Structure 1
Amino acid sequence: MSETIAALVTPSGRSAIATVVVEGPAADQAVDRHFFPLGKKQAGASQVGDILVGHWRDGEQDAGEELVVSRTAADRIEVHCHGGVAASRRIMDHLVAAGCREVDWTEYAHRSEHAPVIADARVALAAAKTARTAGYLLDQYNGALPTELAAIVQLLQTDHANEAPLRLQSLLASANFGIHLTQPWKVVIAGRPNVGKSSLINALVGYERAIVFDQPGTTRDAVTATAAFDGWPVELADTAGLRDSDDAIEREGVARARKLQSAADLILLAIDQSAPWTDEDQQLHDAYPNAIVIHNKADLRADNTSQRPPGLKVSAQRGDGLEQLITMIGHALVQTPPMPGTPLLFTTQQVAAIQTALQQIKAKEEASALATLKALTS
């Protein structure tokens, strides 16, 4: 490496400690300019594995911040400081002024890992919202996907090349699940006005995210909230009640609601079980045949004057049926979770590369397919 770089390798978010990596031929000089150790040994004189405590100062008159410096390679020093944004930003500014080039932590991950898919997994791990999704991504970081890709490359170079497309198609089949390891599943609550959609989303997330009012048409724009059901990250959306209206703003709210619903991974169809079943309810039920039907307001007397479809009785007010609903949502989103250690595609770029490799194999362009796959692993 001819240049010296500085990278804040702690991903964005709250943390007690932040880590700045300084790497390159001038790393020692850049750190020694501002690091004043409590002992006699300067950072530039340290050996791999040494841990030094001292202050980061902007000159002798600056009291500075107490922090820890450690050498992790001959040309690499780590600075461990307070996790606040201001502390790490001050250190980065000093290092840039000392001649280092600032590098984003995602770029540093790709520079420091031996394979692009390993670097992708390292970056994705920082975006994982739950321990369950992080576990699958950790499997990829530890070699599940790179090992599978290497096996497919080997197949293409032997008499078993005809097996490669099947292995690639198997990876593509997992892509929807893999992408959602960092991007939450989208769950939209649909229904007519005043059936309790806002109360339902508040009950599911455990706090008052949506405004609850007893007048139809209160929700005009989508209200979203994040949650985790059965370990799967979910973005819940409370949308405008679906009905015809002369109000231009409400019509726009309904249009946005329908757009969200068309892109949803799962629809929760909320129905007021205390009110008669209407033609509008039936139209919604017919429009979303795969929705989870929720008969809300189970704390009120049920209307038995009309036949209604089966569904889960829930009271957003009392909490009846909520635990069962959460279980149903988790199962509907991921019916059969992959086994631990399963190779998974988890970025759109990986999916595009595998699709390209498949097309190249079908076109008898094996050399191009090999190059496409090797670009992911080396």
Structure 2
Amino acid sequence: MSETIAALITPGGRSAIATIVVAGPKAGSAVDRHFFPLGKKQASTCQIGDILVGHWRDSAEDAGEELVVSRTAADRIEVHCHGGIAAFRRILNHLVAAGCREIAWSDYAHQSESSPIAAAARIALADARTSRTAGYLLDQYNGALEAELTAILGLLDAQQTSDAQLRLQSLLATANFGMHLTKPWKVVIAGRPNVGKSSLINALVGYERAIVFDQPGTTRDAVTAAAAFDGWPVELADTAGLRESDDAIEREGVARARKLQSAADLILLALDQSAPWTDEDQQLLAAYPNAIVIHNKSDLPADESSQRPAGLKVSAQRGDGIEQLNTMIGHTLVPTPPLHGTPLLFTGEQVAAVQQAAAQRPDAAIQTLRTLLA
């Protein structure tokens, strides 16, 4: 690295500690300009692994901020300061004035990692919402995808095109799961007005996210909440009740609901088990054949219509069946989770490159995959 860079590698905002990396040939001298250690050893002369406590000052007369500095490589020093924006911004400004170039942490990841895939996995890990999805991304960071792509390149080089094509297709089959490791699955609650959709979303997320009111048609726009089911991150949406209406606002709400439902990974079809079965219920059942059917309000006397389909009985008010519904959602989204260590495509760039390679002649495919790995 010919230049010296400075990068904030912890999330910005209010936090206890922020970490700034200073890397390059002038890292030590740049830090020395404003870091005054409590001992005799300065940042530029400390050894790898040394931890120094001192103050970051504008000048020797300034009281400054107490912080910790550590050398983590021959050309890299970490500054650990207060996590407030003003604190780390002041230090970064001083480092830029000392000759460093400030870069985004994602750019630093690409500079410091051994391969583009490791860098992409490191960046994706910051967006993982659950420990379960983070585990799969950690597998990719540790080389699962890179090893598979390297093996496919070996097959192409050896002119074993059929075997290479099979493995490319197997990789592409992981794309939907892999992309959801950083982007939550979208689960939408559908149903007629006043079947308890708002109460249901509140019960599923464990707090009052949606407004509950006994007037049909109250929900006019989608209400979303972040949740996790069986370790899979989900964006749960409560939408307008599906019915015909003369109210222009309600019609717009229904139109938005249908748009959300068409893009959903899973539909929860909520039905009122205490109300008579209707033609509208039957039409919704036909419109969403792959939905999880939920008979809500199981705490009320049940309508025993013979037309009522099988489904999970729940009470959003009392909590009956909610735990079972949580499990069912997770298992429906991911029926068979991949084994840990499985290579996965987890970015749009990777999916596009592997799709391109699968459609190319062997010599062009080799070049495409090498570019992805370079």
Q: TM over 0.5: same fold? A: yes
Q: Distance in 2 between matches of 1:287 and 1:12?
A: 45
CA contact (8 A) 1:296 1:315 kept: yes
Encode CA deviations 1:332-369: one digit per residue, 9 max, x unaligned: 00000001100000011100010011111xxx2x2321
Aligned-pair CA distance for 1:123: 0.6
Q: Distance in 2 between matches of 1:119 and 1:9?
A: 13
Structure 1, unaligned stretches of length 5 or more? none
Aligned-pair CA distance for 1:17: 2.3
User: Does 1:140 pair with 2:140?
Assistant: yes
CA contact (8 A) 2:13 2:83 kept: no
Q: Distance in 1 between matches of 2:371 and 2:66?
A: 43
Q: Counterpart of 1:294?
A: 294
Encode CA deviations 1:229-260: one digit per residue, 9 max, x unaligned: 10100110000001111111111110100000
Q: Evaluate the alpha carbon distance shift between residue 314 and residue 292 of structure 1 in structure 2; reply closer, same or farther with a 3 A threshold.
A: same
Structure 1 letter corresponding to 2:178: G
Q: Distance in 2 between matches of 1:64 and 1:306?
A: 77
User: Does 1:64 pair with 2:64?
Assistant: yes
Instruction: Please state whether the residue corresponding to 2:126 is helix, strand or coil.
Output: helix
CA contact (8 A) 2:190 2:242 kept: yes
Aligned-pair CA distance for 1:4: 1.3
Aligned-pair CA distance for 1:80: 1.2
Q: Distance in 1 between matches of 2:289 and 2:63?
A: 67
Q: Counterpart of 1:127?
A: 127
CA contact (8 A) 1:4 1:101 kept: yes
Q: Counterpart of 1:20?
A: 20
User: Does 1:375 pair with 2:371?
Assistant: yes
CA contact (8 A) 1:276 1:306 kept: no
CA contact (8 A) 2:13 2:84 kept: no
Q: Distance in 2 between matches of 1:168 and 1:105?
A: 31
Q: Distance in 2 between matches of 1:274 and 1:195?
A: 9
Aligned-pair CA distance for 1:305: 4.3
Aligned-pair CA distance for 1:11: 3.5
Q: Distance in 2 between matches of 1:159 and 1:172?
A: 21
Q: Distance in 2 between matches of 1:225 and 1:56?
A: 42
What does 1:1-378 correspond to in 2, within 5 Å? 1-12=1-12, 15-305=15-305, 307-360=307-360, 364=361, 366-378=362-374
Structure 1 letter corresponding to 2:365: A
Encode CA deviations 1:126-158: one digit per residue, 9 max, x unaligned: 111111111111111111101001101111111
Q: Distance in 2 between matches of 1:20 and 1:273?
A: 57
Structure 2 letter corresponding to 1:160: Q
Q: Distance in 1 between matches of 2:251 and 2:60?
A: 66
Q: What do you get for the CA RMSD once the two structures are aligned?
A: 1.3
Q: Distance in 1 between matches of 2:7 and 2:256?
A: 41
Q: Evaluate the alpha carbon distance shift between residue 368 and residue 14 of structure 1 in structure 2; reply closer, same or farther with a 3 A threshold.
A: farther
Encode CA deviations 1:34-86: one digit per residue, 9 max, x unaligned: 11100011111212222111111122233222111111222211111223333
Structure 2 letter corresponding to 1:231: G
Q: Distance in 2 between matches of 1:135 and 1:309?
A: 38
Q: Distance in 1 between matches of 2:165 and 2:202?
A: 46
Encode CA deviations 1:73-110: one digit per residue, 9 max, x unaligned: 22211111223333222211221222211110011101
TM score, norm. by length of structure 2: 0.97
* Percent identity (aligned): 79
The 10-residue stretch of structure 1 (309-318 or 89-98) with the greater mean CA deviation from structure 2:
89-98
Instruction: Please state whether the residue corresponding to 2:114 is helix, strand or coil.
Output: coil
Encode CA deviations 1:258-317: one digit per residue, 9 max, x unaligned: 000000000000001111111111111000000000000011111124521110000000
Q: Distance in 1 between matches of 2:306 and 2:216?
A: 22
The 10-residue stretch of structure 1 (163-172 or 82-91) with the greater mean CA deviation from structure 2:
82-91
